[in-house]
Amino acid sequence: MMSKPRWSLLATVTLVTTLLAGAPAAAQDEGPITDPIPEDPVTSELGLTVREFAQFPKSEPTPAPTDPRLMRHARINHLGELPDGSGRKYVPDLNGNLYFVPESGEPEVYLDVKAEFPDFFSGRGMGQGFGFVTFDPDFRRNGVFYTVHTEAGAALDKETTFPRQPRTQYHGIVTEWRADDPASDTFHGTSREILRLGFAQQIHGIQQIDFNPTAKRNSEDHGLLYIAVGDGGLGVSSTEPQDLSTPHGKILRIDPHGNDSVNGQYGVPASNPFVGQQDAVGEIFAYGMRDPHRFSWDPKRGPGGNRMFLGHIGQHAIESVYEVRKGDNLGWSEREGTFRYDRADDCYLYPLPDDDGNYDYVYPVAQYDHNPPPDWECGTDVGRAISGGFVYRGDDAPELRGKYLFADLVDGRVFYTESGEMRRGAEPATIHTMRLYDENGNWVTTPELAGDTRVDLRFGRDADGELYLLSKANGKIWKITGTKRFADCPTGSTVVKNAMGEKNWAPVTPEKWEFPRREVVLAEEGSERPGPRRPYEYAVLTKGPEFGSVRLDAQVRLDTPVEVTNRDVVLVFGYQSDTRFYYAHLSTDNTIYPHNGIFVVDDADRERIDHQWDPVRSQGAAPAITDAEWHEVSLTHCAETGEIAVYVDGQRDPLMTAVDPTFTSGRVGFGSFDNVGRLRDLSVMGRKS
């Protein structure tokens, strides 16, 4: 996934933003690309506050599974709200039940889908079972809704709507239901099958069905049903997703109330892009997909609104978000994200060819890659898969408005991009990773909420545009209630400025320091000293009091020649003594444990505490300082929560973050491990300890 680039920090604002956003790596002589997107998503200062909304009863797959990934508490995978003004939410469980959830938050079984079909099948394959449900926009009046489920066994002898894939292992079925009483909390009514597809493998089936909630009654989209159909696993070895004569690897659009389809059970909209084209399936709305996981529309009206976004699960390395329009070709199985896919290579992707513009492929508006560990075996699952989400337009969390929230369904990371940055034909938008907080403001992770390292995370949205998180691991749903900024603590009103004079500093080795006007200069590199490993040379600011919560703003410069790869300066804070303090290490190198991170020294060798460090890949946050220019640095330490955030050059999001309760007060300082550098424009604002 994301390697160890070195670049000038003067270009960081532009270049790092581009790389973090998921721009393709430079062509490697047309050879395989081992690290397609060289940088991780940006750690956002903005987090989500959540509260538990509902707990679902335990359910079991049919037949009993052998794959531990199917052994979940409840395989809930979506939340929506009935379009009837009742406030009732609906949640499907892959193992068979359709639940309604009233305002009380207590799930009630509305319909046992499994019981209606003798060949119902949910015990093999990640998406098998009762996969999705959506309600007709006129449900209040007509009681109509639609489900997707899978069947195997004797059902494989049934005729499919289109020719099935070879060696079909299961069928995916879209069913229309009509409730006798739409206001009832238990289903009574009739049903009919409208579409049946056969899939070669127990993966990449019909992932979602839905209506465009932004479509006006007089628009071409009103009342049309979108169906996201995966490639059945065949795209890795064939071009079927590119073949317009088959529905696999496509998004279909149908009129469920019509009857001019090949089976007479639904209509084919005349406005579909391939209607009338020889040998093309008229139902196709867009094509070239591997596993179209979740799609949604931005409800914003006017310019930039009503756009359809799709979370697309990749094969080798790339998880993508696309803006999908009528007739689009997303490129699979010839492209994966903004890279070329080679069916002869089971491991890697390749640069786009010089003639790529001739193919008219549509590329992602956001993407991230898999970051396999160094001992990764080619062809094995890295454990990354995108869970598509929604553009937030609700009221509970104003700071989220206009942001597209989505997740990695496996490890539970929650992301956002700015919808305004998600533009076709432009560089992919910057992806931000978000923290979660409970109702008391405590930082929590999705694995902690789910009680499992495999989170199986999905998003839901209600009629007011508010968002929800769902986990199969423990069958719980949490509502997103607001936002919280990291290290957003009051730092008091005591300010220390104009402190550049020599009398205000206590260096470890005074003769190594100079104090020209308005600067503090470490003019000679330090030497390692006995005791715990820590910066070799630093000076502590003695002017002003010791601070509890504190904010430090300054400009720093690294004077060691840029040819030295492990150049650094450090900001000291929470200083108690020569063997008890924190420091932020601002370095050119982010690839070894001691560099470019946040550390604590507590009468023992320095310990790395920042969240950005990945010990498996030996990589931390993007390099902080790579040239010999001045750079703005801001550091906040919240004494009560232990939150620490470091910002460089006015970036909106922190370069480094940590939470550590070791020291709740102390002084600040400046120095280096074994390099030279300088400090100016220092301002310290804090609360007296």
- CB-CB neighbours of 63 under 10 Å: 12
Q: What φ, ψ does residue 52 adopt, rounded to 5°?
A: -65, 135
The pLDDT confidence band at residue 689, using thresholds 50, 70 and 90, is confident
Rounded to whole angstroms, what are the CA distances from 42 to 22, 24, 431, 435, 652?
11, 16, 6, 12, 10
- pLDDT of amino acid 11: 33
Q: What is the pLDDT of residue 83?
A: 97
Q: What is the pLDDT of residues 75-90, one digit of tens each?
A: 999 999 999 999 999 9
DSSP 4-57: -----GGGHHHHHHHHHHTPPPPP-TTS-BS-SS-SPPEEPSEEEEEEEEEEPP
- The total of other beta-carbon atoms located within 10 Å of residue 236's CB is 14
d(CA 103, CA 462): 12
Q: Tens digits of per-residue pLDDT, 94-141?
A: 999 999 999 888 999 999 999 999 999 999 999 999 999 999 999 999
Residue 18 has pLDDT above 50, yes or no: no
Smallest CA-to-CA distance from 38 within 612, 619, 616 is with: 619
For residue range 311-357, list pLDDT tens digits in order.
999 999 999 999 999 999 999 999 999 999 999 998 999 999 999 99
Chain segment 537-551, per-residue pLDDT in tens:
999 999 999 999 999
DSSP conformational letter for 239 = -
User: What average pLDDT does range 607-614 have in this prediction?
Assistant: 96
pLDDT, tens digit, for every residue of 419-478?
Answer: 999 999 999 999 999 999 999 999 999 999 999 999 999 999 999 999 999 999 999 999
Amino acid occupying residue 449: L
Q: Which residue has the higher pLDDT, 433 or 12?
A: 433
Evaluate if residue 15 carries a pLDDT over 70: no
C-alpha span between 81 and 136 (Å, rounded): 12
- SS3 state at 671: strand
- In the chain, the percentage of residues whose pLDDT exceeds 90 is 90
DSSP labels for 374-386?
A: TTPPTTS--S--E
Q: Are the C-beta atoms of residues 349 and 339 closer than 8 Å to each other?
A: yes
Token digits for 673?
């491990």
HSE of 478, CA atoms in CB hemisphere, 13 A: 24
Cβ-contact 494, 549 below 8 angstroms: no
Find tokens 């220019």 and name the residue: 629
Three-state SS at 371:
coil
**Angle CA(544)–CA(546)–CA(547) in degrees, nearest 5?**
105
In tens, the pLDDT along 217-260 reads 889 999 999 999 999 999 999 999 999 999 999 999 999 999 99
Flag whether pLDDT at 608 surpasses 90: yes
Give the DSSP letter of residue 473.
T
Q: 193 with 228: CB under 8 angstroms?
A: no
pLDDT value at 580 more than 70: yes
CA dihedral 264, 268, 269, 272 (to 10 degrees): 180
Q: How confident is the model at residue 492 (pLDDT cuts 50, 70, 90)?
A: confident
Can you tell me the mean pLDDT for 599-609?
Answer: 98
Q: What is the pTM of this model?
A: 0.93
**Terminal C-alpha separation, the chain:** 44
Residues β-bridged to residue 105: none
Where b means 16+ CB within 10 Å and e means fewer, 620-658 reads: bbbbbbbbeebbebbbbbbbebbbbbbbbbebebbbbbb
Banded model confidence at residue 374, pLDDT cuts 50, 70, 90: confident
Nearest-angstrom CA–CA distance, 212 and 208? 12
Nearest to 347 by CA among 316, 381, 314, 385: 316
Query: Which of 37 and 23 is assigned the larger pLDDT?
Result: 37
Give the per-residue pLDDT at 29. 54
